[in-house]
Amino acid sequence: MDDLIRESMDGFDEVWRRVTERPETECAGKAPAPEDILTDLITGEACAAQVSTALARVCRGEARQTLARHAGQAKERLRRLRAEYFIAAGAAAPAPGPRPMTEGHLASLRRLWLDAAALADRYEKAAGEAKDAALREVLAAFARESKLRARELRALLVASF
């Protein structure tokens, strides 16, 4: 990268602020509000609860029990996240819509595993961004639970073959 391009990129934030006529504080990296962080996590947990419940209905044996347990835990985390949202925002959290299952049960189980791993990463990131110590502790605990859930789902997926 030559010096001319580097200089252009270094001054971009200032130019963007002038063009959009926004105050300088908006151009700088601003920490997201707790309710913004929690909305994404609420959507992830609602999806996990819905898909786990649906898969528990079609699977058998140990897989059914594990998925039913995961669905119950996801519903409990969802309840707690909604409470944390209310504490942070003073309003009820927006209700996520239903997620239709359009894949077979193995593909859905794989998607659930991938989503659980991604949700664990989002919990860790949110815990790092949370300013409130109580919220940070809750999110860190949910990150650990999501990692465990992802490992269990991967084991179920492997056992399905």
User: What's the rounded Cα separation, in Å, for the pair 20 and 26?
Assistant: 11
Q: What is the pTM of this model?
A: 0.72
| Mean pLDDT, range 24-37, rounded to an integer | 64
Q: Looking at residue 104, what is its pLDDT? A: 83
Tokens 């949370």 belong to 130
Sorted by sequence, the CB contacts under 8 Å of residue 80 that are 6+ apart come out as 138
**Among 25, 23, 36, 42, residue whose Cα is nearest residue 131:** 36
Query: What domains lie within the chain, and their CATH numbers?
Result: 1-30 (no CATH), 32-159 (1.20.1260.10)
pLDDT score of 1 more than 60 = no
User: What's the rounded Cα separation, in Å, for the pair 131 and 11?
Assistant: 30
Tens-digit pLDDT profile for residues 88-119: 888 888 888 776 666 788 898 999 999 999 99
pLDDT score of 23 more than 60 = no
Token couple for 68: 């039913």
